[in-house]
Amino acid sequence: MREIYKYLDKKIITRINSIFAISLLTVLLETLSIVSIFPIMKTLFEPNFINEKIVFIDLSLTHHETILYLLIIVIIIFFVKNILIFIFSLLTSKFINFAVIDLTSKYFERYLTLDYIEFIKFNSNYYVRNVIENINTFFGVYFKCIVTLFTEIILVIILLTILFKVDFKSTLYFLSIFTVSGFILYLIFKKKLTNYGSNINEFYTKKLIDLNHAFTSFKDINLTNSNNFFVRTFVGNLRNIALISYKVDAINSLPRLVLEVMGISVILIFIYINFTISNGSNDYFATLTLFALSGFRMLPSANRILSSINRLKFSGPAIKILEDEINRFKNYAVKENLENNQSINISFKNQISIKNLSFSYDNSKFVLKNLNLNLDKGTTNIIFGASGCGKSTFINILLGFLKPNSGEILSDNNNIFLNLSSWRSNLAFVPQEINLGDEKLISNIAYGVNENDIDQDKIYKILDILNMRSFVESLPEKLNTKIGEKGYKISGGQRQRIALARCLYRETKIIVLDEATSSLDRETEEKIFKNIKENYNNITIIFVTHRNSLVKFADKVFNFNENGNLIDKKND
């Protein structure tokens, strides 16, 4: 927990600390409300009790007036206590919810800035689970249990201290019985809860994987009539989660039942024995009342303490994952700082030089080997090659997502890997798989730009270049039309043109296209490419494709063989 705690914003940490201060005040109010009953019971049987204790003020009250005023004071104490506890609960809820926002945003930000190879070490659903499930578990379960333990333990200590002063021997018996019982229950379920916590984390990830897989494979599932298979798999995983959940709930509810029976029995036996010994003395009745009230208040406290300990064990594996991720962020940040020099500006004014570039995924078979080529500013460069020859790998290296085993990529004689952020500011990229959001068309084109800052005139100019204006004008809400998740409401060709529009809107110096026009017919493809060349004659285009129709627009054509070697290079 300490690592996660330190990872929070300082303002949030201050608020978290205030929760403990609030909890302490709540404990004092709870204790005061219980102890306040004692003088009333004492005064009922000893009319001069208050006058004897408060000698510095002449109260001059009758017995009935004293009882009445004491009752009013107790009512006020309980009234004020409950109002303050309500306010404290609101503040605690507010602080915790904002802490969730802070930690969630930090994890989300760090995941988005990971190196590509570092990022793909885990399934994307692993990250979703951490950001949504585990962070909520940390604050909603783990942290609340810590606060509960802090509060209830202090309350029990204060009440026990009072009871020890009233009757040391009886309190010692009372404490011993509950401590031994609680410890036995903890030992019985300790290992099971840790195992359940580890297993349920895996099942949560599997649940997200199943959902994501099913919803993104909607067509395939229905075409192959695999609905029942996917439903069975999903429900089977939910059943595993349910089995663990009900077992954990049973373990958490058991201490309350056991302690309640034991507690009531011990309290009643204690009252009976002491009442018998005291021969019905009025003086001892107040003490019995105090023990009874304290006992009944400590029973839920004992249950909350044991339940919190159980929940801490159960949620421990999830918290361990979050702590491991923080260490991962730190290690990556150190590595990133060593590799990247933010003071170096990677510009592109003349040429990109690829020198002796080699790459292998597993350090055995090289996908690219001793690659050498130059890409000049303002030129159109087309890359051909069979599937699996390394074209997409080369693009990923050029974009900085993969790092070569040897060799280098220079932009105006600066190694691009010295400052990837600066290098990427020169680039725009259209991948084979287009990722469009379920939002307005205008937001999909002006990607990552606030809607109020979007230049619509520039967008319409780009739409004309891509022959898309008539299509957009035909939409029900034109640029404000929502195009569905991943652009499912429009055709593949339109999706690719929207991705091209997004690319052109950024006005970068280099455009990298990976099979970016594969869904367009030849005539449309050529017309669009011609328009781009005429309107952006100073832009450098790197185009990976299988089609030969665009060769006439190329300044350079590169061919790669299946071994990742450049076998042909020609100028048009």
Q: Look up residue 372 and give its two tokens.
A: 């050498």
Residue 151 is predicted with a pLDDT of 82
Residue 223 is predicted with a pLDDT of 63
> Is residue 317 packed enough to be buried (19+ CB in 10 Å), middle (13-18) or exposed (0-12)?
buried
Last residue of a domain, one of 339, 368, 392: 339
Residue 550 is predicted with a pLDDT of 76
CATH of the domain at 94: 1.20.1560.10
Q: What CA–CA distance (Å, rounded) separates 7 from 11?
A: 12
Q: What CA–CA distance (Å, rounded) separates 49 from 37?
A: 14
Tell whether 345 is covered by a domain: no
Residue 283 is predicted with a pLDDT of 54
Q: Are strands 510-514 and 351-359 parallel, antiparallel or unpaired?
A: unpaired
Tell whether 486 is covered by a domain: yes
CB contact at 8 A, 141 and 308: no
Own/partner pairs, 416-423, CB within 8 angstroms, 24+ separation: 416/346, 417/339, 417/340, 418/339, 418/340, 418/341, 418/344, 418/346, 419/340, 419/341, 419/342, 419/344, 419/345, 419/346, 420/340, 421/340, 421/342, 422/342, 422/344, 422/345, 422/346, 423/346
pTM of the model: 0.71
Tell whether 346 is covered by a domain: no
Q: What CA–CA distance (Å, rounded) separates 228 from 221?
A: 9
At 300-343, the pLDDT tens digits run 777 778 778 878 887 888 888 888 888 888 877 656 655 566 67
Structural domain for 10, as ranges: 2-339
CB contact at 8 A, 134 and 107: no
Q: Does one domain contain both 172 and 285?
A: yes
Q: Are strands 566-571 and 406-411 parallel, antiparallel or unpaired?
A: unpaired
Split into its structural domains, the chain has a count of: 2
Last residue of a domain, one of 339, 370, 405: 339
Residue 572 is predicted with a pLDDT of 43
Q: What CA–CA distance (Å, rounded) separates 82 from 380?
A: 74
Q: Does one domain contain both 455 and 308?
A: no
Residue ranges of the chain with pLDDT lower than 70?
1, 5, 37-63, 66, 216-220, 222-224, 255-256, 259-260, 263, 266-267, 270-297, 299, 333-342, 363, 485-488, 562-572
Last residue of a domain, one of 339, 359, 377: 339
Name, in order, each residue with C-beta under 8 angstroms of 39's C-beta and a sequence gap of 6 or more: 49, 50, 53, 70
Angle at 126 between CA 125 and CA 132, to 5 degrees: 80
Q: Does one domain contain both 392 and 253?
A: no
Q: Look up residue 339 and give its two tokens.
A: 């590799």
Q: Does one domain contain both 197 and 73?
A: yes
Residue 292 is predicted with a pLDDT of 66
Q: Look up residue 448 and give its two tokens.
A: 């990552």
Name, in order, each residue with C-beta under 8 angstroms of 53's C-beta and a sequence gap of 6 or more: 39
Q: Does one domain contain both 330 and 193?
A: yes
Tell whether 187 is covered by a domain: yes
